[in-house]
Amino acid sequence: MRDYKKEYKKFQSSDKSKKDRAARNRSRRKLEKAGRVSKGDGMDVHHPNGPRKKFVKVIRKSTNRGMENEGGRKKIPKKPR
């Protein structure tokens, strides 16, 4: 059985993870103020060089979460009919 408490303690509560999460939240708030994203609009803030870098892109949620080698949902190629 998976020990979620142990995983949280090991990864999400580490100083590096906290700083990364704060940087992601900060960049999202900045884009919300600029009017480029809003809650429920189906868009994500993509951090191609890591969460603490300045360069970010606004892309569709489905595209951002389905990228290769990003650990997200993988796109399954459509079969020809």
Would the pLDDT of 71 be above 70?
Answer: no
Mean pLDDT of 7-19: 88
Would the pLDDT of 69 be above 70?
Answer: no
pLDDT of residue 79: 75
How far is Cα 41 from Cα 20, in angstroms, rounded to an integer?
Answer: 23
Mean pLDDT of 27-46: 93
Would the pLDDT of 6 be above 70?
Answer: yes
Would the pLDDT of 51 be above 90?
Answer: no
Token output for 47:
């951090």
pLDDT of residue 67: 73
pTM of the predicted model as reported, rounded to 2 decimal places: 0.70
- In contact, 45 and 37? CB cutoff 8 Å: yes
DSSP the chain: ---HHHHIIIIITSHHHHHHHHHHHHHHHHHHHHTS--TTSSEEEE-TT-TTSS--EEEEHHHHTT-TTTTSPPPPPPPP-
